[in-house]
Structure 1
């Protein structure tokens, strides 16, 4: 059996531990790895302070994950929106989400301390709820495409513009 336990022990250290400074691109990966190693050591010390040795000795391994990058957050946003897309597909509706909307959702759904945990709620509040309201109001029918976009600082949902099917007017 594998039992996975997660903890927020040391979350305050992580929040305070972000370094400010400038590094060259070649040093960036090395600096990030050194920062990770220092943080890992501090977090394991915090773990030892929080739990009795009898408990810790029964644990086979402790994994300290690297902080999420913007690319990681974007992939998580894409995965969550794929689930929304599958739900709409069951109703015969396609989903298109602009890059601007995805980036905005990622920014709003990420927290230094809690990572991507708030992202589920952000997508639910900003995308799923608006799609549900639009569906209830009859804005979308089967074969339609729902577009999720960013206007200013707000996520908006609207049907895709229907192109004229009466031939090509281009020379």
Structure 2
């Protein structure tokens, strides 16, 4: 990944901290926001991280946030609130993490999502 040294160093430091035990075991290893124009390597870095941490890119969950442009579509992401149809089913994010708790989640095109 050419030209992404700062992002790579940040990810590497977080992984090293986790490997030596300098983290809360009840929390995610890290959260990152990679911003920039198309084609600079944000998704590729995420795939590489998933592959390194868990042995395969398949552990990465990609959520296309352009599908969540309207306020009501947040239920599709995190599930319906209590009392609504589908409450017990969960959403795309919650079910993905529930089925694969050790994963890397990519919120792609997040700038297109509804601000809520």
**TM beyond 0.5:** no
**TM-score range for the pair, normalised by the shorter chain length:** under 0.3
TM-score between both structures, scaled by the size of structure 1 = 0.19
TM-score between both structures, scaled by the size of structure 2 = 0.25
Larger RCO, structure (CA 8 Å, separation 6 or more) = 2
